[in-house]
Amino acid sequence: MRIATWNVNSITARLPRLLAWLESSGTDVLCLQEAKVAEEQFPSAELRELGYEAAVHATGRWNGVAVLSRVGLEDVVKGLPGDPGYDGVVEPRAVSATCGPVRVWSVYVPNGREVAHPHYAYKLQWFQALKAAVADDAKGGRPFAVLGDYNVAPTDADVYDPAAFEGSTHVTEAERNALAALRETGLTDVVPRPLKYDRPFTYWDYRQLCFPKNRGMRIDLVYGNAAFAGAVKDAYVDREERKGKGASDHAPVVVDLDV
């Protein structure tokens, strides 16, 4: 079984590439972030033609998450209980579903913007709500994983130059502590490092030739419980999908399971 996560940075802009990638990659379940469409505009018909059902939580031009599956889609839950919201709005940042033998969450963690910004406090509060929401799902013998754009680099090795991020979000102690607290629910990072190359980044800014110069970050993560982690047979970042015209600024992260 092949499961992946991908921040597509607008499913409308990325649809031709997404459909081609699904056909060529053999992915059974895809957790998708930054759909940037309302649910009624989500391309469910085009995906259905390829055999994928879609659980979508999206409201408009920002945020939006989905789970695409060709192995079944049941017990869909949209959002987080206790979601703190931002500026009075509860944003569509999490959706979960059972896909065959595996339960997955697709999450798009708030960016945080700047350490002194209210969005940073919201980010930490959102992490607390996520931890509370997944705690029960992570227990037991069923393979379970939280996949998505966490907007946090777990260690200094997960950014191209720690000095370049000093004082910025994505690398602060509080954010990394929030990741550690999430792992305390019984989850582990199932994508090993190094993979087939030394710097398995998943995101590269569009500006300043960041991708050609490999000035990236590893912020798209797959956190699984013991049953999920024990079934992992391979994992990789599909850097090829970051190349070329019309690419997202994130690459897909792919995990193969024996379940």
- CATH number (domain holding residue 214): 3.60.10.10
pLDDT tens for 223-253 read: 999 999 999 999 999 999 999 999 999 999 9
pLDDT tens for 29-47 read: 999 999 999 999 999 999 9
Give residue 69's pLDDT band: very low, low, confident or very high (50, 70, 90): very high
pLDDT beyond 90 at 195: no
User: What is the four-CA torsion angle of 245, 248, 251, 255, rounded to 10 degrees?
Assistant: -120
| Nearest residue to 20 (alpha-carbon basis) of 258, 257, 256, 252 | 252
Give the mean model confidence (pLDDT) for residues 200-206.
Answer: 94
- pTM of the full structure: 0.96
Exposed/middle/buried for residue 208 (C-beta within 10 Å: 0-12, 13-18, 19+)? exposed
Res 197: pLDDT: 54
Q: Please state, in angstroms and rounded to a whole number, the distance separating the CA atoms of residues 67 and 95.
A: 7
Contact 37, 14 (CB under 8 A): no
pLDDT tens for 96-134 read: 999 999 999 999 999 999 999 999 999 999 999 999 999
Res 194: pLDDT: 55
Contact 243, 204 (CB under 8 A): no
Q: Report CA-CA distances (Å) from 31 to 3, 88, 253.
A: 8, 27, 10
> What mean pLDDT is reported for the chain?
95
Domain count, the chain: 1
218 residue type, one letter: R
Give residue 193's pLDDT band: very low, low, confident or very high (50, 70, 90): low
Q: Please state, in angstroms and rounded to a whole number, the distance separating the CA atoms of residues 59 and 222.
A: 25
214 residue type, one letter: N
Res 192: pLDDT: 72
Where in the sequence is the domain holding 242, given as residue range(s)? 2-257
Q: Residues of the chain with pLDDT > 70: what percent?
A: 97
Contact 211, 156 (CB under 8 A): no
| Nearest residue to 206 (alpha-carbon basis) of 248, 159, 253 | 248
